[in-house]
Amino acid sequence: MENLEINITNLREQLNEKLKNSGWYKMLSPYINGLSFDHIVNTLVYNVEGGKRFTPRFKDIFNAFYECNYDDLKVVIVGQDPYTQLGIADGLIFSCSKTGKAEKYLQYILKETIGDFTDTGRVIYTPEECDLRRWASQGVLLFSTALTCEINKVGSHYGIWKSFTEYLFDNLNKHKPNTIFILMGKKSEEWQIYMGNQKIFKVTHPASALYNEGKWNSKDVFNLVNEELIKQNKTCINW
């Protein structure tokens, strides 16, 4: 884990500059520059000092916003946690750009989007296919409701990020109506109360495939999203 002796003022300056570049500054800066963000940073530092390491690395936490330009936003994919193992999460939920190898959850997703490629029983995808920045650049925000997670401890940082997630969803609902949301899993569906002006698709989390003979019921959601984008006169996502 990187050194977390963080100067919050310097951190804010860096975040604000990157958020300006991706168009998110106007929406997110009131939160980033407020006391709630101080609390998040101080809590993360306190946890690390107590021996509780987290993922992804601090510099990667807001990558989902850096990679998806605000003005291009069309779709938000919502899950609960980053990958909990050390060295995998890259700040975009389900993406595996750090390793170039598809984790199980991503394998189930890519089976539905690219297809099921098998070789001696293994599912094989290229590093480029495992890097979901290719979706983000088309206007897909790949968001986990907890932007961090203690190593190997699912749900451990849910409370830390709750106020930020509330703030984000509430503002998207006000300022980006008719954005398409894909809510993956029951935990994601709990946030639906903040999405009254949005188009919502609900599917089980890809983790459910682990208990269903390796089959994830995606409800053809990726094709349905593109059908909705066509109705909105927007460009389809090349999944």
- Local confidence band at 1 (pLDDT 50, 70, 90 cut-offs): very low
Instruction: Let me know: does 171 contact 27? Beta carbons within 8 Å.
Output: yes
Residue of 198, 164, 193, 176 lying closest to 30 (CA atoms): 164
185 DSSP assignment: S
Location of structure tokens 């994919």: 77
Choosing from 60, 81, 90, 131, which is the catalytic residue? 81
For residue 33, what are its two tokens?
Answer: 């520059």
Query: CA-CA distance, 12 to 9, in Å (whole number)?
Result: 5
Q: How far lies 153's CA from each of 1, 86, 126, 167, 207, in Å?
A: 16, 11, 28, 25, 15
Q: Give CA 54 to chain center in angstroms.
A: 16
Average pLDDT over residues 135-150: 98
Q: pLDDT of 144-190, one tens digit each?
A: 999 999 999 999 999 999 999 999 999 999 999 999 999 999 999 99
Q: For the chain, which residues make up each domain, given as ranges?
A: 8-231
Examine residue 56 and say whether the peptide bond preceding it is cis (omega within 30 degrees of 0): yes
Location of structure tokens 């199980």: 104
Instruction: Let me know: does 169 contact 194? Beta carbons within 8 Å.
Output: yes
81 is catalytic: yes
Per-residue model confidence (pLDDT) at position 126:
92
In this structure, whether the domain defined by 8-231 belongs to CATH 3.40.470.10 is answered with yes
138 DSSP assignment: T
What pairing do the DSSP bridges indicate for beta strands 199-203 and 180-184? parallel
Q: pLDDT of 5-32, one tens digit each?
A: 568 888 899 999 999 999 999 999 999 9
Per-residue model confidence (pLDDT) at position 111:
92
Angle between helices 104-113 and 221-231 (to 10 degrees): 50
The whole-model pTM stands at 0.94
Instruction: Pick left, alpha or beta for residue 103 (phi over 0 → left; psi -120 to 50 → alpha; otherwise beta).
Output: beta
Element (H, E) at 230: helix 221-231
Query: CA-CA distance, 221 to 194, in Å (whole number)?
Result: 21
Per-residue model confidence (pLDDT) at position 121:
61
Q: pLDDT of 37-78, one tens digit each?
A: 999 999 999 999 999 999 999 999 999 999 999 999 999 999
